Structure 1
Amino acid sequence: MSLDRTSIDVPPGRSGTVQVTIAVPPSAARGERYGVIWAQAGARPDAAHTVRIVNRVGIRVYLDIGPGGEPPSDFEIGELTPMRAPDGRPQLLALVHNTGERALDMSGTLSLSDGPGGLRAGPFAADLGVTLLPDTSAPVNVTLDQRMPDGPWKAELTLMSGMVKRTVSATLTFPRAGAGLPVPPDSGLLSLFGVIGGLVALLVAVAVLAVRLRRRRAAVG
């Protein structure tokens, strides 16, 4: 990677543009490469200031190499584990596995419903904390308000990365301390039943329509 200039003066509240050129050698193998372009500003130490202060910001680079368009992105959400933080706040931990061929930057929310007395809460922001590389797993942690009742709750967790979005749900209760028992999400099974049910309903509707059309033709004839 090369830049058209190595420094730029940016007044307060303004912006500037630097052109970046990425030269990919013909022998490069297919796949995704990762990099970063840093921009930093610092105060040089002098006789009165012996500590140098540096402010730095980076732009991530995801470079896809090879024919056929960009690699597919996908992920799976595993078991949901209710737990308590050391300060007593309830938390939900979900293990996410990157099943695609691109790095993922996760975001998402947790919503609670059907709680004690019909309470609802959320959405609460989910925090992954790292970039999830292909074929790796990392925990997603959601921290809730300390005043939340233990439950039981119906938890619905929605995570996304770019255009890929997955939602799972489960019924769980937060423990008084430590980690509770992992709960398998039930949305995958429900989704499967929903698809099958939709197909069955469609086939029934087509059959009914065909019978009616035959009857009308017979009546006309």
Structure 2
Amino acid sequence: MPDQLSRRARASLLTLTFAVCAPIAAHAGTATADPPAPGGRFGIGVAEIPASRLDDPRARVYIDDHVNPGTTFTRALKVFNFSAKTRHITLRAGGAAIRNHRFTFAPPPAGNELTSWIRLSRTKLDLRPGDSALVRATIAVPAWASEGERYAVIWARLASPKPGPGTNIALVNLVGVRAYLHVGPGGEPATDFEIGQVHPRLGVDGDYRVVATVTNTGHRAIDVQGRLYLLEGPDRLKEAGPYPIARGTTLAPGEEAEVTVPLGRGVPDGRWKYRLTVQSGRVSRTATGTLTLLRGPAAPHRALALLPLLLTGLGCAALTLLAAIVYRRVRERVPGRQAG
């Protein structure tokens, strides 16, 4: 039998980016599904990429596809045990959504329409230390499926022993691979976005952030990444950076949100040119212009941020003075008390 993995993907990429375990309480609410840094007890990653998406960075990390109604396809995932103990790992698909500009999920068994289309070749694994195993996810889209994009997470789960008497909380480690699936007739709809206003923002802590407005003008969700360079600055400084965009922003089609680039305190005040590159998958956009960084009394954001603290301090001082006046008058009216 021919190897389906080799037939479906021209590159067998079994050691790509992995999602690594993050402990959460059982039955926790929704949260962002961004994988933490490697080094956990176990992991799961994409093990094959369609030939049509070999140049797509998102396809190296997520299941990211467009298919017509009635299509059935398979993606291979690889599960790893990085720990020094044998692990019993279970696998399951869970529902996901984009809320408040974040890719959010509800831990299994919560599902949605997409999870009802997903079947896993294996749902239980016993992996010895350093071992790995392939799991195939088959997604069967019904012929009656409506047009639109759907989201899910394929989870690998490692649970602690059952809770003892008097407690109903169990520690559950979940790692997952996101799935972005657009269903519709014809070819894949365009992915596109625009960069709007770019301006500096000074925090109360004295650290600068550059804030940019990004609007998803396409028909697929985007995960915003990128970097900022500062150029031709004060004191003949030629370049500062690159500074990465804070990750975690996901925009559904039509959504707009601010993305932030932390600069810290090491950037000198003055006038800078900037080059901001924003990327999602294969699409990249660049904005250029000038920024003026200014710490001190003239910085409006900092003054506004400190205003509540100043008002609170003045209020406390006024109350203290009023209490002192009242106390003195009461003492003066006590019978038999004379001025010394």
**Could you say whether these structures have the same fold, taking a TM-score greater than 0.5 normalized by the shorter chain as the test?**
yes
How far the C-alpha of 1:49 sits from its partner, in A, is 10
Measure the CA separation in 1 of the matches of 2:119 and 2:200. Answer: 48
Residue 28 in 1 paired to residue 145 in 2?
yes
**Matching residue of 2:225:** 107
Residue 165 in 1 paired to residue 284 in 2?
yes
Change (3 A) 1:178 1:30: same
8 Å Cα contact 1:153/1:171 also seen in 2 = yes
**Matching residue of 2:252:** 133
Instruction: Please state whether the residue corresponding to 1:8 is helix, strand or coil.
Output: strand
Q: Which of 162, 165, 187 is the equivalent residue of 1:69?
A: 187
Residue 145 in 1 paired to residue 252 in 2?
no
- Residue by residue, what CA displacement relative to the aligned partner does 1:60-93 show, whole Å, maximum 9, x if unpaired? 1111212222211000000012111221111100
Residue 7 in 1 paired to residue 141 in 2?
no
Measure the CA separation in 1 of the matches of 2:147 and 2:244. Answer: 35
- Residue by residue, what CA displacement relative to the aligned partner does 1:98-119 show, whole Å, maximum 9, x if unpaired? 0000001111000001111121
**Matching residue of 1:212:** none
Tell me how many residue pairs correspond in the alignment: 180
**Matching residue of 1:43:** 160
Change (3 A) 1:169 1:110: same
Could you list the runs of 4 or more consecutive aligned residues of structure 1 that deviate by over 6 angstroms after TM superposition? Answer: none
8 Å Cα contact 1:128/1:138 also seen in 2 = no
Residue 118 in 1 paired to residue 236 in 2?
yes
Residue 54 in 1 paired to residue 172 in 2?
yes
Change (3 A) 1:16 1:86: farther
Structure 2: runs of 5+ lacking an equivalent: 1-117, 303-340
Q: Which of 211, 215, 233 is the equivalent residue of 1:93?
A: 211
* Worse overlay, 28-37 or 74-83: 28-37
How far the C-alpha of 1:47 sits from its partner, in A, is 4.4
Instruction: Please state whether the residue corresponding to 1:17 is helix, strand or coil.
Output: strand
- Identity of paired residues, percent? 48
TM-score when normalising by structure 1: 0.75
Measure the CA separation in 2 of the matches of 1:124 and 1:39. Answer: 33
What RMSD over aligned residues (CA atoms) do the two structures have, in Å?
A: 2.0
Measure the CA separation in 2 of the matches of 1:13 and 1:86. Answer: 46
8 Å Cα contact 2:231/2:240 also seen in 1 = yes
8 Å Cα contact 1:85/1:178 also seen in 2 = no
8 Å Cα contact 1:83/1:175 also seen in 2 = no
Instruction: Please state whether the residue corresponding to 2:235 is helix, strand or coil.
Output: helix
8 Å Cα contact 1:150/1:173 also seen in 2 = yes
Change (3 A) 1:114 1:49: farther
Structure 1: runs of 5+ lacking an equivalent: 181-221
8 Å Cα contact 1:124/1:143 also seen in 2 = yes
User: What is the identity, as a one-letter code, of the residue corresponding to 2:140?
Assistant: A
The structure where strand makes up a greater share of residues is 2
8 Å Cα contact 1:83/1:178 also seen in 2 = no
Change (3 A) 1:178 1:27: farther
TM-score when normalising by structure 2: 0.50
How far the C-alpha of 1:48 sits from its partner, in A, is 9.3
Measure the CA separation in 2 of the matches of 1:178 and 1:13. Answer: 55
8 Å Cα contact 1:77/1:97 also seen in 2 = yes
Measure the CA separation in 2 of the matches of 1:79 and 1:22. Answer: 40
Change (3 A) 1:11 1:139: farther
Measure the CA separation in 1 of the matches of 2:166 and 2:262. Answer: 41
